Amino acid sequence: MNLYLGQKVKHRNIYNGSEIMTVVGLRFTEVELEGDWSGGTHSVTQKDWVPIKGIIYQNNWGAWIDEENDSSFTKNAGPRD
């Protein structure tokens, strides 16, 4: 998985992976995420460091990929013939 600043991701520990966050910092084992940590109830933007393990990201076709739990997300989604 290649993470980059400004990328939109989700994390399994933040509302079970339902809240979209923005990557604003990177370390070897952690990623700093910015977004609405209130679950949408307060609309307050905050930042915090979380483990990279648990990141859910989008592939080139927009499908969300959870490498730890491939049963709940489509891995090889893309254009169909």
Instruction: Quick: pLDDT tens for 53-81.
Output: 999 998 888 888 888 876 555 445 555 44
* Residue 11 to residue 50: CA distance in whole angstroms: 8
Helix (H, G, I), strand (E, B), or coil: what is residue 36? strand
Give the model's pLDDT for residue 25: 97
CA quadruple 28, 34, 38, 44: dihedral sign: positive
pTM of the model: 0.79
Residue 15 pLDDT > 80, yes or no? yes
Predicted local distance difference test score (pLDDT) of residue 69: 77
Q: pLDDT tens for residues 25-55?
A: 999 999 999 998 876 677 788 999 999 999 9
